[in-house]
């Protein structure tokens, strides 16, 4: 009695067992936008490496006392390394603070706009993927990668900033450090993603969506930079303290109070910068001034200001995401 072996079955190429490889919407998004993922990973790795180099190499060179220097210890530093370090800190803050523009452009032009323009999104909807699931995947996967990358960058920048931020004359209240020193970096990146997605859904074309998303984020970013100082009450200094406001405090308003009880913003009076209480009193008497005032944000106000700005950006992000889903449902419900 003989038995006949069953013919071996072969699986056509491209139809391998789906359990042996990644699948689902997450894998689709990663595969479809692989170039953007690689660019983002390279950007984060290169910038992170540069931040570490500035912190542990350039900064240490700037701190090293020059051999045989006859001057005081504070003067015996490597000036060239100090300048390089300061320029690096400034440039790194700018690269971190403004990466949201690239995110917005990519989200509007490629992530959403191009798929709608070419019809690939409509093809997915016609199969087993609902429009809502499609958009959730298009937002959730990039959002997770953006949050991870930007968190690494702002933590490294804080490490770079912490040791000796007064070495380069760059203060916490400057626009770029205000963003780069905390989670506001993450919020801006997510906002760029949401605004870009909304622009792509609204316009359904890559190039117009890119322009609109970039334009909105630029205007929003500049507006918030200029108005962050007003998001938290200032601290008022009077008398001698008002005449000697420290450099690490953000000056909001400086002025004098006259005998008539009025306030004047003439900060050019010699009373500001008085070296002692006696000279301050004499100056005030000569100019019929009864008091000095200075409204400032001390360094302790960084986190209140930063977190208030972060809340505003996240609110705009939530509104953009809500509008994107509403628009998607409205359009797909009519088909």
For 67-80, the pLDDT digits (tens) are 556 555 555 667 77
Instruction: Look at strands 235-238 and 263-264 and give their pairing.
Output: unpaired
DSSP letters for 246-262: -TTSEEEEEEEEETTS-
202 in the same domain as 270: no
Give the C-alpha separation, 106 to 148, whole Å: 18
* Helix or strand holding residue 320 (H, E): helix 302-333
Cβ neighbours of residue 198 closer than 8 Å, sequence gap 6 or more: 320, 321, 323, 324, 327
Q: What is the dihedral of CA 270, 271, 273, 276, to 10 degrees?
A: 130
272 in the same domain as 177: no
142 in the same domain as 110: yes
Q: Residue 15 pLDDT more than 50?
A: no
227 in the same domain as 291: no
The band of 4, judged by pLDDT with boundaries at 50, 70 and 90, is very low
1 vs 275: which has the higher pLDDT: 275
Q: What is the mean pLDDT of the chain?
A: 82
Domain count, the chain: 2
293 in the same domain as 169: no
184 in the same domain as 273: no
Residue 220 near residue 196 (C-beta atoms within 8 A):
no
Phi, psi dihedral angles at 266 (to 5 degrees)? -80, 90
- Residue found by looking up tokens 């990358």 in the block: 149
For the ranges 34-48, 239-253, 273-287, 302-316, the one whose mean pLDDT is highest:
302-316
For 261-302, the pLDDT digits (tens) are 666 655 445 566 666 666 767 776 776 677 778 899 999 999
Q: What pLDDT score was predicted for residue 268? A: 45
The CA distances from residue 99 to 46, 112, 172, 306, in Å, are 14, 19, 19, 18
Q: What pLDDT score was predicted for residue 9? A: 44
* Lowest-confidence segment of 138-147, 163-172, 263-272 by average pLDDT: 263-272
Q: What is the mean pLDDT of residues 245-272?
A: 72
For 106-132, the pLDDT digits (tens) are 988 888 888 888 888 888 787 878 889
Range of the domain at 286: 250-297
Percent of the chain exceeding pLDDT 90 equals: 43
Provide the whole-model pTM: 0.83
268 in the same domain as 166: no
The band of 8, judged by pLDDT with boundaries at 50, 70 and 90, is very low
Q: What pLDDT score was predicted for residue 7? A: 47
In a domain, 175, yes or no: yes
Q: What pLDDT score was predicted for residue 3? A: 46
Q: What is the mean pLDDT of residues 194-201?
A: 94
Give the C-alpha separation, 222 to 213, whole Å: 14
Residue 325 near residue 131 (C-beta atoms within 8 A):
no
Q: What is the mean pLDDT of residues 206-214?
A: 92
207 in the same domain as 187: yes
In a domain, 237, yes or no: no
Give the C-alpha separation, 15 to 11, whole Å: 6
The band of 146, judged by pLDDT with boundaries at 50, 70 and 90, is very high
265 in the same domain as 288: yes
156 vs 37: which has the higher pLDDT: 156
75 in the same domain as 179: yes
Q: What pLDDT score was predicted for residue 14? A: 39
* Lowest-confidence segment of 17-31, 291-305, 314-328 by average pLDDT: 17-31
Cβ neighbours of residue 187 closer than 8 Å, sequence gap 6 or more: 310, 313, 314, 317
| Residue 52: other Cβ atoms inside 10 A | 13
Cβ neighbours of residue 252 closer than 8 Å, sequence gap 6 or more: 229, 234, 295, 296, 297
Q: Residue 173 pLDDT more than 60?
A: yes
In a domain, 3, yes or no: no
Helix then strand then coil, % of the chain, to nearest 5: 65, 5, 25
Cβ neighbours of residue 175 closer than 8 Å, sequence gap 6 or more: 97, 225, 228
Q: What pLDDT score was predicted for residue 293? A: 84
191 in the same domain as 53: yes
């Amino acid at each position: 009695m003989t038995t006949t072996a069953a013919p071996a079955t072969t699986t056509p190429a491209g139809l391998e067992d789906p359990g042996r490889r990644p699948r689902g919407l997450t894998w689709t998004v990663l595969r479809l936008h692989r170039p953007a993922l690689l660019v983002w990973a390279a950007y984060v790795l290169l910038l992170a490496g540069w931040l570490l180099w500035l912190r542990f190499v350039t900064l240490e060179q700037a701190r090293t006392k020059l051999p045989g220097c006859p001057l005081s210890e504070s003067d015996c530093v490597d000036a060239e390394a100090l300048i390089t370090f300061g320029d690096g800190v400034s440039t790194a803050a700018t690269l971190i603070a403004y990466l949201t523009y690239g995110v917005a452009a990519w989200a509007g032009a490629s992530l959403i706009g191009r798929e709608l323009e070419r019809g690939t999104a409509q093809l997915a909807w016609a199969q087993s993927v609902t429009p809502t699931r499609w958009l959730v995947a298009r937002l959730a996967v990039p959002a997770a990668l953006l949050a991870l990358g930007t968190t690494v960058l702002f933590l490294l920048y804080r490490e770079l900033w912490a040791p000796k931020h007064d070495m380069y004359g760059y203060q916490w209240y400057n626009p770029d450090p205000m963003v780069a020193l905390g989670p506001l970096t993450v919020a801006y990146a997510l906002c760029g993603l949401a605004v870009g997605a909304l622009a792509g859904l609204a316009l359904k074309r890559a190039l117009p969506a890119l322009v609109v998303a970039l334009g909105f984020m630029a205007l929003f970013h500049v507006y918030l930079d200029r108005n962050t100082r007003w998001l938290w009450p200032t601290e008022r200094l009077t008398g001698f303290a008002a005449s000697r406001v420290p450099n690490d405090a953000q000056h909001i308003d400086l002025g004098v109070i006259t005998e008539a009880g009025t306030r004047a913003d003439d900060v050019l009076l010699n009373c500001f910068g008085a070296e002692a209480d006696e000279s301050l009193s004499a100056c005030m008497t000569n100019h019929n001034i009864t008091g000095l005032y200075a409204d400032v944000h001390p360094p302790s106000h960084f986190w209140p200001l930063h977190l208030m700005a972060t809340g505003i950006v996240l609110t705009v992000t939530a509104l953009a995401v809500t509008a994107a889903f509403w628009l998607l449902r409205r359009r797909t419900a009519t088909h």
